[in-house]
Structure 1
Amino acid sequence: MKTIYLDNAATTQIDDEVINVINTSMKNIYGNPSSTHQFGRKAKSAVETARKNIAKHFNVSASEIVFTAGGTEADNLILQNAVSNLNVKRIITSKIEHHAVLHTCNHLQEKFNVIIDYVKVDAFGAVIIEDLERLLKASKAKTLVSLMMINNEIGNLLDINKISDKCIKHNALFHSDTVQAIGHYSLDLKESPIDFIAVSAHKFHGPKGVGFAYFKKGFGIMPMLHGGDQERGARSSTENVHSILGMEKAIQIAISNLENDKNYIEGLKKYLIFGLKKLSKNIKFNGFSSDMQKSSYTILNVRFPFNNAMLLFSLDMAGISVSGGSACQSGSNIGSHVLSEILTDEDADKTSVRFSFSKYNTIQELDLVLDYLKKQKSN
């Protein structure tokens, strides 16, 4: 049976060149970067070179990059540091953020009595800028705004520059979870003055278990993990050398081929949208996911005109891997908090499927998916 992987917003296939870099580094760069002997110095040099090269892609300095175990840790480190070290008393976010942000905000509210305000979103999941402005004006308390650049479920693109401008105007800090964006969109952090971002390598054909947090220069960092003072004291724990080097390679490949990959994957998304519309006029698309200007070209969230709790399972049995919501919730009986927030009760009760694409997908695979869905419709 042919298998088709269309869950790239959950994780991606590791690029062969990245695997080669990881394998080579595991064999040849096995010293502890904190050791002062030649093996340690070799590892330390490799890590710092990777940090410098990654920083260049975002037009920032190497000292502003802190390596983490992934996007979730990066979000946690940023949000907790904002409260414990930067005197943030209030966080403005939305109810459709990733749980790495929402659950951390809940924790900070319980532990430090931080005020959490939620900006309103419209029926498509777009942040209502006027409501953000209202919230920013409503309090003089030191505030951090946390809004993701691309929603991981519906693919909506945030107007980063517009949000940055509002934050600067009202003297608020700005954090964005850019996990679904990095490797797929260019981001110049000098041009778009975001204060903090979170990144995860496995979303752009790199290894799992590694990512980084960006802290704009001038902000001190209070670590969450204590014990070794690695990462200039920002994160204790021996650096994951081979994964860091794999991430460096994955970013380099993604950015070098960004336009070609984008054009190719956009073609796949348009093809599936056309095929689904042809299949049934009653099929709808959640958020702005069918709008090529307002959503990521990698994500399409489809709402079918029925409730079929077994659809994901039957697709899996047919060799087609997709997601019903965030992959972080897979296996649970909890519905998508994003769709619950933006859909009517009637529409939320219908079956929604997230298709997410990569450079490794093909038109032929999409034809097989459409053929399978057509058979399901006729049964």
Structure 2
Amino acid sequence: MDQHLFLNPEHTLLRDQLRRFVEERVKPNGDDWEEAGMVPREVLREMGALGFLGVRYPEEYGGSNMDTRATAVLAEELGKSSYSGFAITALVHTDMASVHIFNAGTEAQKARYMPDIVAGEKICAVCVTEPGAGSDVKGIRSFARREGDHFVLNGSKMFITNGVHADLYCVAAKTDRDGPASQSVTMFLLEKGMPGFEVVRQLDKHGWRSSDTAELSFVDVRVPVENVLGEEGRGFYAIMQNFQNERLVAAAAAVGESQAAIDMTVDYVRERQAFGAPLWAQQTIRQRLSMLAARVTAARALVYQTAARDAAGEDVVREVSMLKALCGELVNEVMYDCLQFHGGSGYMRGMAIERMARDARVQAIGGGATEVMLEEVAKRL
């Protein structure tokens, strides 16, 4: 698919800059980040200095004031790095967490925090998922009761990306135990170090090894009333609204991951000799890779078409739900076959395709499991 059908010169420039950054900074160092279990803060600051952390935010905060298509470009190119733990570290900050501050924050909150967010000086996490509430946001049990000019927050959060090393946390909690979730969830802005707020542990994951993921605990955390993001009791709608952006980001990243896997596998099978000829000489391998390439090309077209429609203000909930389901499953199919075509070497640690296959598995789970997404599509058919 020719991305120029949907991208203007500004988007194309962003894409080219991201590709240089990935080649020069990410690929040579990604293995070290995987080993460390985190992306160094100086790398995120460098991304901020290059303008990658604020592509959608206004110039007054240091951003580029671009549209949804820029988000798709950012996510796809970071996905192509082959280090999805690095990619999700940046994308949670840019498009899943900080958006709660920008969309719902007061002018004072935005003036205080957004410049440092865009610069990579303060990194964000969003805290919705709990041990008993993932895709089912209405199952949130964390509770904040009002006491004068503070809320007292108690509860826990699980599987929080950037949870160990973030500075700012957008936390969802109920503020009315008896009311329906759609009218009782409130978003709060917490800073690391607030008394009673603890990072319980860094979680040991199957993939996304260079992304820090945490379990968090809140015990009688006193949160000032001015740290409420948006209106009290309207947090559920804020979460649902941002899910559309989050899922589009996940789909675009999955397309990038898929393309990178196909490219490296084509190179591999052209060189790998078996039965007296390159593996590329085997018709079944050529044709399977060709079909995967066709499906990834089609998925990319839908990603950019949906991003363009969203930028134009259209309702794209159905298409975003389709994309999250489609791309989350497709990237796993791509990784399965690409690893297969690498043979035994593809199963070895140290091979990029082995890491990428582990990273891809969560794409059908996080941000809305495939089954949940298909139900959202079904409602709109």
If the length of structure 1 is used for normalisation, what is the TM-score?
Answer: 0.26
Q: Taking CA–CA contacts closer than 8 Å with sequence separation of 6 or more, which of the two structures ends up with the larger relative contact order?
A: 1
Q: Is the helix fraction higher in 1 or 2? A: 2
If the length of structure 2 is used for normalisation, what is the TM-score?
Answer: 0.26
